[in-house]
Amino acid sequence: MLFVYPRTVRFQDTDAAGVVYFANVLAMCHEAYEASLAARGIDLRLFFTGSEVAIPIVHASVDFFKPMFCGDRLEIHLNAIQTKDSEFEIQYRLFPEGKADKALSQAVTRHVCIEVKPRSRCPVPDLIHEWLHP
């Protein structure tokens, strides 16, 4: 499943050197994740607070290829894939707007589905299964 999220780098995303602070790349990727869920009609408020299933991120990594600066217009390409019955992974690639052949950064987040009360793994909920396999 591929989703493209447009994003402009804001001043608050940058560090004292004027480039995007490393942790903010993950924040931008999470914005893309939320936007992709909303685009599929998933109610974000219920998804993040009102469910019996939680989907924590258990792994995250980021690689940087070129610096990103305040005002840069980006495209975040999100590709989500189910890796196990109870897990999925989201691969992100950040590009300058309109230049999908020149990646600036890439990131990965791995998510595990758990039942909130017993804190035990459970299968990916139907809502997320439909998002993963449109």
pLDDT per residue over 64-95, tens digit each? 999 999 999 999 999 999 999 999 999 999 99
- One-letter amino acid of 49: T
Does 63 qualify as catalytic in the annotation?
no
As a whole number, the mean pLDDT across the chain is 94
pLDDT band of residue 26 (cuts 50, 70, 90) is: very high
| Options 13, 15, 72, 101, the catalytic residue | 15
What's the rounded Cα separation, in Å, for the pair 71 and 91? 24
pLDDT attached to residue 66: 97
With a cut of 80, say whether residue 50 has pLDDT above it.
Answer: no
- Find all residues with CB under 8 Å of 24, minimum gap 6, and list them: 13, 14
Single pTM value for the model:
0.92
- The DSSP letter of residue 119 is T
| Residue pLDDT, tens place only, 98-127 | 898 899 999 999 999 999 888 899 999 998
The token duo for 12 is 């608050």
Q: Kindly list the distances between the CA atom of residue 114 and the CA atoms of 49, 55, 82, 86, in Å, as whole numbers in the listed order.
A: 14, 6, 15, 8
CATH number at residue 44: 3.10.129.10
Q: How many CB atoms lie within 10 A of CB 122?
A: 16
Cβ proximity of 124 and 110 under 8 Å: no
Could you write out the DSSP letters of every residue in 19-63? BB-HHHHHHHHHHHHHHHHHHTT--HHHHHHS-SEE--EEEEEEE
The residue segments making up the domain with residue 112 are 2-132
pLDDT attached to residue 118: 87
* DSSP-based three-state secondary structure for 96: strand
Q: How many domains does the chain have?
A: 1
